[in-house]
Structure 1
Amino acid sequence: MHVRVSLVAAARSSSLLAERFDDDRPLDGTGWRSVESAARDLVPLGSAGLRYCSPTPRSRATGEALGYAPLAQPALRECDMGRWRGLTLAEVTAREPGAVDLWLSDPRAAPHGGESLLAFISRIGGWLDTRPADDGGEIVAVAEPSVVRAALVYALQAPPLTYWNVDVRPLSTMTLTGWSGRWHLCLRPPV
């Protein structure tokens, strides 16, 4: 028994340099245009039996724009960044450079008072491992790029610091096949 989980990274809500931790902003104009141009390739994923999304405005909007009618999953929320919520990486680095260095080098550290990288990856992995494993079942989830990165690290059982070496662009997709604790990355050609 196995399941196929396709993760779609939400469209953007701001430029990369303006992104903030736990950003609750909706899609920007560029994000909407990107969804429109990618729709032809991404809409077919909406035929999945189960359709989910992160609870962020841009994940919900991306899923709705693609016709998925996704159900928001609290477990797919971004990493809890504690007191860094709403700040950019540049702002935090200027205020707490030592804390940022610790956060980037120790996956168990949570100098911001929120969730550690290891806890975040484990939470996303827990969500994956509790998906119903109906043989041949399909799931699609629109999630923040950070959630897609965490899922990849968990599924491949890679060291947690690998998270920082994975680039997930808006509207990119990743498909995992398998079942609880036994996930495989499935690379497919474009539709």
Structure 2
Amino acid sequence: MRQLCALDIAPVPWRNGGGLTRELLAWPSPQDWRCRLSVADIASDGPFSAFPGVVRHFVVLEGDGVALGFAGREVEQRPGDAPRVFDGASAPGCRLLGGPVRDFNLMIRGGSGGMAAALPGAAWQAPVGAQAGLFARVPGRWRNGTEALTLPALGLLWFDAAPPGDWRFEPDAPATPEAPVGWWLHHIPEGMTP
């Protein structure tokens, strides 16, 4: 089990200078990852980096949102929107809809994975055989039966072997309707059967 907070991780500048990334997880290693989780701060317009062979899952955490450009069409992504899933090789252009934004990324290279909105107190189960976790947008408690762990805002809880049963997230403060309290995450490595 790993438990950490994005705000405790030193940010690394993007190659194009348009933002900063805090890498929460690179499994199995930072050099040859198959699953990567990160929080990014986007300060200016510009293209995303290309990640050939990667499926990206992208949500906006804070700010007005962004418009992503894909092959001549633009799609807006704002806090509270469902995750935008796209081919990492596409390297979409990114235009800020207001000021700077903070976003969360799940990137999968090989295997499968996904993210789903965590709703206060609602049950979620990790797929059998998956690595799984919770990214908390707000502080609260993760529960699995009688086990409970506290997470800060922008905190990650990750299991390389997900415990079975119903998982729940209980935020410390009442939820607001504009965005989920967090996201359930999973990754099934290539060659593993759920």
Please state which band the TM-score falls in when normalised by the shorter chain: under 0.3
Question: Of Structure 1 and Structure 2, which has the larger fraction of its residues in strand?
Answer: 2
What TM-score, normalized to structure 2? 0.27
More helix by share: 1
Q: TM-score, normalised by structure 1?
A: 0.27
